[in-house]
Chain A
Amino acid sequence: MVLHVMASGLILAAALGLARRAAHPYEVRVRTLEEWQRFLRHLMPLIEWKRVALAQAVSEAGRGLPHLERAMERLGEELRDPDTELHAAWNGLLASLPGLWGEDQPVLSELGRVLGTSDADHQHNHLEAAVRDVGRLVEEARRARSRDGRMLPALVSAVGMMVVILML
């Protein structure tokens, strides 16, 4: 009996762990995209009003954002090298961020293609479009989190409970 209880406890813990693991990508995607939203809102005045050079602007806009801060600092440093190709460096940054999904990459990659290549009015339009698109992605990510991101963990937990009941 003691063995059964211990095994049940282990199975329950494993099921809960698996459930959390299943929910993790959904949660991280939402958080990462929300940070991108904040990053873009910080970036807009730096480009449109202060006209800060891009290397400095991305570093400043990324400050205080746990997922983006280090990546943006690194991008800022890379941009100070005259041999850096902006779009390639930007895409490298996107590939190195763990929270983004396949459908998020093209939207952000497109922003990297046009960032810094035109006057402040055009940059405003590009940034506004990016804020809109990222806003849409955030909504999608939240919906996916509440739909699949909660159902999957519940399913895994239920299976765990069933196994425990059968065992006992």
Chain B
Amino acid sequence: MGPWQYLPNPWRQALMDLPRDRSATLEEIRFRIGRPVYLYGTGWTSPLSHAEAPAAISAAEIERVIEVLADHSLYARADEMRQGYITLPGGHRVGIAARAVVDGGRVVTIRQITGLNMRVGRAVKGPGEQLLDLLAARSVEDGSWLLVSPPRGGKTTLLRDVVRILSDRGRRVVVIDERSEVAGFGGAGGFGHDLGAHTDVLDGWPKADGIEAALRTLGPDVIAVDELGEGRDLEAVWRARYSGVDVLATVHARSLEEVKARPSYRPLLARDGFSAAVVLAARPVPGTIRQLWTSWDVS
């Protein structure tokens, strides 16, 4: 189900009336105060034009949209909103552009929302098989892998597919899904994406805490985590590696060199924290494998 199902009218109807080729390749819907709603697809950009929809969106309308997306329950989404997003069932993420209210150097809340970026989450089956074949050809069939790409490069989609395949091959996988994007948690309705028969999901857990909990209680063969940060996240990855658990992770960067330039990541690649790193590109299509590095390359 597309994320537009959660929007109020007239936006929902306007997006449902899009031609099929547009809705199938739609990647982002952007709401900005005083501007037309813009659609960003694979290889195309267009303002949303519909008889019922106003030419530009007002501040009050953006407030209404965010209230509806949060099920009139902003108190239940405050932690997510503090980090600048909310996630919808199905793993669709809505980024929020707003003014931060900072107390003691920490963002305590946000106000005056000026823009929303609704990213369409899709499960694509197939690219994971390709990656696993490539890695097998390089004799890296098991181990810890790092998926590297800039935003919209297809990291999460590829991670989801690899998790599904490994899980269906019988490996016990635990997904630490801090932002509910990988599994597409939909509340009591379960998960929005197929992650295989042997996968458990720790939804909403901060990455480091989730890795610890998974190691202590869920006995995983593989831990999958999206958008690794620094500090505690990486310490938790090391603990998993020392416990004999493989880690499948994604990180934001344009190239492997950019990852290696970060002091905290260098040891992870140099000392077999990860046995392979895959650099993805957004073009010609998200998820295009641009570079494949394995620990064999340096040994």
Asked if chains A and B come from one complex, the reply is yes
A142 to B64, CA, bound (A): 39
Quick check: is B263 within 8 A (CB to CB) of the other chain? no
A53 to B5, CA, bound (A): 18
Query: Do residues B12 and A120 form an inter-chain contact, with CB atoms below 8 A?
Result: no
Binds A, one of B68-76, B220-228, B278-286: B68-76
Quick check: is A102 within 8 A (CB to CB) of the other chain? no
Which parts of A38-66 form the interface with B (CB within 8 Å)?
Answer: 47-48, 51-55, 57
Query: Do residues B8 and A47 form an inter-chain contact, with CB atoms below 8 A?
Result: no
Which parts of A73-120 form the interface with B (CB within 8 Å)?
Answer: 79, 82-83, 85-86, 115-120
* Residues of chain B contacted by A115 (CB below 8 angstroms): 72
Query: Do residues A116 and B75 form an inter-chain contact, with CB atoms below 8 A?
Result: yes
A165 to B6, CA, bound (A): 71
CB pairs A–B below 8 angstroms (29 shown): A48-B75, A51-B73, A52-B76, A53-B72, A53-B73, A53-B187, A54-B72, A54-B73, A55-B71, A55-B73, A79-B71, A82-B5, A82-B8, A82-B68, A83-B9, A85-B64, A86-B72, A115-B72, A116-B74, A116-B75, A117-B67, A117-B72, A117-B74, A118-B74, A118-B75, A120-B75, A120-B78, A122-B75, A123-B75
Task: Say what secondary structure dominates the interface of chain B.
Answer: helix
Q: Name the residue of chain A whose CB is nearest to the CB of B68.
A: A82
Q: Closest approach, in angstroms, between the C-beta of B84 and any C-beta of chain A? A: 15
B 36-73 binary contact with A (CB < 8 Å = 1; else 0): 00000000000000000000000000001001101111
A124 to B245, CA, bound (A): 43
A117 to B60, CA, bound (A): 13
A100 to B7, CA, bound (A): 34
Q: Closest approach, in angstroms, between the C-beta of A142 and any C-beta of chain B? A: 32
Known: A82-B6, A83-B8, A83-B9. A119 touches B68 (CB 8 A): no
* Residues of chain B contacted by A119 (CB below 8 angstroms): 74-75, 78, 109
A contacts with B, residue count (CB < 8 A) = 21
* Residues of chain A contacted by B7 (CB below 8 angstroms): 82
Which parts of A15-56 form the interface with B (CB within 8 Å)?
Answer: 47-48, 51-55
* Residues of chain B contacted by A53 (CB below 8 angstroms): 71-73, 76, 187
* Residues of chain B contacted by A79 (CB below 8 angstroms): 71-72
A47 to B78, CA, bound (A): 12
Which parts of B1-56 form the interface with A (CB within 8 Å)?
Answer: 5-9, 12
Q: Name the residue of chain B whose CB is nearest to the CB of A55.
A: B71
* Residues of chain B contacted by A47 (CB below 8 angstroms): 75
The 8 closest A-B CB pairs, nearest first, are: A119-B78, A51-B76, A116-B72, A120-B75, A53-B71, A53-B73, A54-B73, A54-B72
Query: Do residues B75 and A51 form an inter-chain contact, with CB atoms below 8 A?
Result: yes
